[in-house]
Amino acid sequence: MDWINADKTLLAAIATVLTVVAFAPYLWSIQQGKTHPHVFSWVVWGINTGVAFFAVLAERGGAGSWVIGFSCAVTLLVAALAYHKRADISITRTDWLFFVAAIATMPVWYLTDDPLWSVVLITIIELLGFCPTFRKCWHQPHSESISFLVILILRNVLIVAALKRYVLSTTLFPVAMAAACAVLIMMMVWRRQLTKSPEPRTVDL
């Protein structure tokens, strides 16, 4: 069975590379002052991804869990760099709600002695976090990069493939994130087709 573990390690390595490929341009854009992420949102996403990492690790997720851990580190790096570059540091009531909910996942895990409920909670929080992006892309379907989202889908598919143990607590988070990205892509493509300027009509004389 060593060859199976080797294959899963390779898949996890590829997923890690895809994470770098996806986020390196974004980090560079922040460094150049061209992109101004919402710092608090990235902190919440970092906490959620961190909880997912520890939950999958506790459930013996194997190599796939380390990719989630790496993604957590990258997410918090985005938050730190954004704060350093004095990006958007405004905080709304909704931001605080998501933050408190993210922090609450750890006591939920402790009280239930089951990481599944923490994973369910952070997955719901992450999906709710997609709502502003869905709303924005509905009105501005060209405002997000489809190629970036495709890389994230592939990354999450590889995370699932690299898992050592398949239970709901290890698969729910990456599967839900991949599905959300896929739905967002389909909506963007559809809206781009609808909002495409009609071709000028020629008149034969």
Nearest alpha carbon to residue 122 among 67, 177, 163: 177
Residue 205 lies in a domain: no
| Domain around 18 | 2-194
Nearest alpha carbon to residue 33 among 87, 92, 69, 100: 87
Tally the residues of the chain.
205
For the chain of 205 residues, list the mean pLDDT of each consecutive stretch of 10: 68 93 88 79 86 90 91 92 76 78 79 86 85 81 85 94 92 94 94 69 41
Q: How many domains are there within the chain?
A: 1
Model confidence, pTM? 0.81
Query: Which amino acid, one-letter code, is at 1?
Result: M
Residue 164 lies in a domain: yes
Residue 203 lies in a domain: no
Q: What pLDDT does 77 receive?
A: 94
